[in-house]
Amino acid sequence: MASVTPPGLAYEVEHDEVQHRFQARVQGHLALLDYQIQTRNRRKRMVITHTEVPEAIGGRGIAGELTKVALRYAREHKLKVVPACAYAEAFMQRHAEYDDLLAG
């Protein structure tokens, strides 16, 4: 598992490429973003399938940070993104700077 923590973040974000997950442990609670890599028309894309932040650590922007890290990964690896979970979809609607990543 590799650390992919953005500078200045108060907690560590890890990328588990085997389980297709970005995760952060905050005060003993695990927050996560799950994804799948799919190939369609010989092009790979990232499908964000699930985000989860336990209530005990909610309201701190953790899901947003996990999503930003996942989208940065997608951009670096030239992947289009399908926001298949409600949180990821809402996040991408609010952040036009990621519009170029949306799969058509």
Residue 32: which CATH number?
A: 3.40.630.30
Would you call 5 exposed, middle or buried from its count of C-beta atoms within 10 A (0-12, 13-18, 19+)?
Answer: middle
**Total structural domains within the chain:** 1
**pLDDT tens track for 42-99:** 889 999 999 999 999 999 999 999 999 999 999 999 999 999 999 999 999 999 999 9
Query: Going by C-beta distance under 8 Å and a sequence separation of 6 or more, which residues neighbour residue 5?
Result: 11, 12, 13
Residue 19 pLDDT exceeds 70: yes
Whether pTM > 0.75 for this model: the answer is yes
Q: How confident is the model at residue 8 (pLDDT cuts 50, 70, 90)?
A: low
Residue 6 pLDDT exceeds 90: no
State which residues form the domain around 11. Answer: 2-101
